[in-house]
Amino acid sequence: MRTDSSPGSLPAREHLPAAGAGTPVLDVVIPVYNEEKDLRPCVLRLHDHLTRTFPYGFRITVADNASTDATPHVAARLAAELPEVTSRRLEQKGRGRALRTVWSASDAPVLAYMDVDLSTDLNALLPLVAPLISGHSDLAIGSRLARSSRVVRGAKREFISRSYNLILRGSLQARFSDAQCGFKAIRRDVAQVLLPLVEDTGWFFDTEMLVLAERAGCRIHEVPVDWVDDPDSTVHIVRTATEDLKGVWRVGKALATGSLPLDRLARPFGDDPRDRELAGVPQGLARQLVGFCAVGALSTLFYLLLYSAFRGFTGSQAANALALLVSAVANTAANRRLTFGVRGRGGAVRHQAQGLVVFGIGLVLTSGSLAALNAATADPGHSTELAVLIAANLAATVLRFLLFRAWVFPDPAPATQPLPAQPRHPDPYRTRGGATVRLRPVRDAHTDPRDGR
């Protein structure tokens, strides 16, 4: 996973200014490999559509992925015939490599790509790029899985596509609906910051870019599309699926360990009242309570399983101490990342040390409860012990949340000077406990589950 420095923070979203004469607003990239038959009709059809319907200057770039047939010659002839068409030859295969190369060198403020088979209805192209031109969104994707989309394809591809997107939702918490549709666009200023963090050079390139963009708080616009499957597609399904699963594992591991520097993508925010900080108003209390309860429920189940396992070869006090110690370390790590949104490894050791102090308090409560039970009953049953421990852990959980929020992961201290009534670009990131934490994400219908996704 790439961890090298990106070019800088994302700029504020603004409507693109009117382009000067000869400067294209949109650069549509068509990555191809051995497509000598389909390339010319594809480019001619796309060029005709853009000429008739697109109100800005445009460019079509053919990105040849080391083709071994006549594809480079077809691309060169098209570039010679049509002034809006250019071609770029790469000596290595890989759709992601082609897109990265062309997008990184393009001067157009909006970058897009589509598959050479033109499976997606071109009427969706203007709705795809319009939110990027207006400054409303950072990326846009065509979705074949939206309710209003009309899709014609075989049952095998339908099953694979839906299964893959379910895997992304379950493993990487992705919220976009269709990662594989070959119909996407991105603003160039966003691409310049995001692309250095994307490692894949093949088919997983799209998914990795979208996951990182979503985790960084970028706004992703989705467009329902009409899509007809290409029966002559040269994509090797099994090989592609295997590579995609490897990519999911790699990105998931990087996100879990905090090795991705997503905090570098901090964007200045606008005047949305939801992005303001008000003195004396707790930030994110309801969300933290929900996250803490979910982590606590799983931790309690984990603790009880450990206790039952340890109880088989040791006494109740020792089993309780061991189970509580292991589950406390896991609980602190989970709450650090999921409940309080602390990213990276900074302060992790200190947080665990403070968590162990909280663990000590919980140990006193639970051990005291066991001691009281043993004093009251000479030989208590196993079910009675578990019931007492559950009650004691509930009390310890309430105290643990209060200590986590006030001591281990406190909110940043308020500024000594009051914030202006309408801050131009309040910073969405702060330092909490020695690590970077995001206080308020971008919210819209495609990036925030609270808005009905």
Phi, psi for residue 187 in degrees, rounded to 5:
-70, 140
Phi, psi for residue 30 in degrees, rounded to 5:
-115, 100
User: Edge-to-edge strand order for the sheet containing 435-438?
Assistant: 342-343, 435-438, 429-432
Residues 6+ apart with CB under 8 A from 373: 380, 384, 385, 388
What CA–CA distance (Å, rounded) separates 130 from 136? 9
Query: Does 206 participate in catalysis according to the annotation?
Result: yes
Encoded tokens for 152? 């014609």
What CA–CA distance (Å, rounded) separates 348 from 355? 10
Terminal-residue alpha carbon distance, the chain: 29
Which is the catalytic residue, given 27, 138, 189, 206? 206
Q: What one-character-per-residue DSSP string does 85-98 give?
A: EEEEEESS--HHHH
| Dihedral angle sign, alpha carbons of residues 147, 153, 156, 157 | negative
What CA–CA distance (Å, rounded) separates 38 from 53? 23
Query: 3-state class of 444 per DSSP?
Result: coil
- The residues facing 226 across adjacent strands are 150
* Active centre residues (catalytic): 206
